[in-house]
Amino acid sequence: MTSDVQWQNYLDEVSDALLTGNHQQIDKLRSKYGIAYKDDHQLVSLIEDMNQSFTTVEPSAQFSSRLKNELIGVEQTGVVWRIRKLPARVQWAAIVATILGGGLLVLQRLLGASESLRKEERTSLPEES
Amino acid sequence: MFNFNRKSKSLDYKNMDDRELVQLAKEDKEAFGEIYERYLTKIYNYIYYRTGNQQDAEDLTAKVFYRALSHIENYVDKGVPFQAWLYRIAHNLVANFHRDKGRRKIIPLDDYIAHTLTSDAPDKQAEISEQKEYLMEAIHRLPADRQQLIILKFIEQKSNADIGEIMGRTEGAIKSLYHRTLLSLRDEIELQQLTLKSDQPQNREKQG
């Protein structure tokens, strides 16, 4: 005679076996708990049916991203946004570096331009003999 | 030197446990975003199988996360997993939905069938579809706590201990509830099939 608690444990273990795809485990569990096929086959097939019926449903990508944007704001990935997320002193360092870098580029161009002007002047002047 | 704490912190969200995330989420929306990513599909599935269609599942899932966001400041960790709190919000909203709309008995089941039956042969599909419909109808007639247990067990594949924490019951109580649920589902389906069988000859006679 199988008690209520034994039935509970048996059905619990059967469910775990079916959920993990160990169908061959069922007969072992039947003999472990002394339960006959005629007594449990309806319940076992019910568990199996539920296992097959309940499959994970993915929410649509459109819904997921729209809701996330509504909840926490649009996810931004631009350079300005990344800089704004940095600590203040890092932001200042970035600004100074940008200004210095830009200044150097301008200076280099000016120097390069004046150098080429000089070269042009040298080539265009007629040689005095 | 330069302090890149904020950037590294944002990368760490994924490795944080729920407790740490929830503390941060009280002030930091990005932490809440990680919570959202972690639980969106779970909550959506829970609601989808309780309501039976995509539209209501989306509406109620959105409400769950809006409510979570507006109340997370007041969330107090009492040793129960954070997801139990989210499931409780979902559970209450689904209960309100069924009560307000009186939809519990007219849940459309087409979505389930269309979703799960796409690869079988047409004749087999019809047979499985019918069986699945009986089963889903029977599940929807169960009390809310039993439906919750079934969904957590078969969709989330949670252990009895986890289900117990979410539902506020002991592991033993969950096992017992599961046993009773299976028995009542078996009886319900048997009754349904008997009723259908007894209806069929009557219909034939009427048609004849």
User: Is the pTM for the entire model greater than 0.80?
Assistant: no
Task: Count other Cβ atoms within 10 Å, centred on residue B206.
Answer: 7
pLDDT the model gives residue B31: 92
Task: Count other Cβ atoms within 10 Å, centred on residue A47.
Answer: 23
**Which residue of A11, A56, A58 is in closest CB contact with B178?**
A11
Determine the residue of chain A that is closest to B50 in CA distance: A54
Task: Count other Cβ atoms within 10 Å, centred on residue A36.
Answer: 9
DSSP class of B155: T
Q: In whole angstroms, what separates CA B83 from the centre of its chain?
A: 12
The predicted model gives B34-42 an average pLDDT of 95
pLDDT the model gives residue B112: 54
Given CA atoms B56, B59, B62, B63 in this order, what sign does their dihedral have? negative
Beta carbons of A56 and B3 less than 8 Å apart:
no
For residues A60 and B62, is the Cβ–Cβ distance under 8 A?
no
B31 three-state secondary structure:
helix
**Which residue of B33, B61, B182 is in closest CB contact with A59?**
B61
Model confidence over B81-95: pLDDT tens digits? 899 999 999 999 999
Task: State the nearest Cα–Cα gap between B15 and chain A, in angstroms.
Answer: 20
pLDDT the model gives residue A123: 75
Q: Which residues of B touch A63 (CB under 8 A)?
A: 58
Model confidence over A82-102: pLDDT tens digits? 666 677 788 888 889 989 999
Q: Name the residue among B145, B17, B49 with its Cα closest to residue B88.
A: B145
Model confidence over B127-138: pLDDT tens digits? 667 778 888 889
Task: State the nearest Cα–Cα gap between A103 and chain B, in angstroms.
Answer: 23
Task: State the nearest Cα–Cα gap between B200 and chain A, in angstroms.
Answer: 23
Q: Which residues of A touch B69 (CB under 8 A)?
A: 71
Q: What is the length of chain B?
A: 208
Model confidence over A26-72: pLDDT tens digits? 999 999 999 999 889 999 999 999 999 898 999 999 999 999 999 99
pLDDT tops 50 at residue B4: no
Beta carbons of B151 and A4 less than 8 Å apart:
no
Q: What is the length of chain A?
A: 129
pLDDT the model gives residue B194: 81
Task: State the nearest Cα–Cα gap between A22 and chain B, in angstroms.
Answer: 15
Highest mean pLDDT range out of A2-6, A8-12, A69-73, B117-121? A8-12
Beta carbons of A54 and B135 less than 8 Å apart:
no
Q: Which residues of B touch A58 (CB under 8 A)?
A: 41
Model confidence over B53-74: pLDDT tens digits? 899 999 999 999 999 999 999 9
A129 three-state secondary structure:
coil
d(CA B130, CA B124): 10
pLDDT the model gives residue B202: 60
pLDDT the model gives residue A35: 92
Q: Name the residue among B132, B92, B118, B110 with its Cα closest to residue B53.
A: B110
Q: What radius of gyration do chain B's Cα atoms show?
A: 21
| Mean pLDDT, chain B, whole residue set | 82
Residue type, B149: L
pLDDT the model gives residue A92: 86
* Token pair belonging to B87: 């499931």
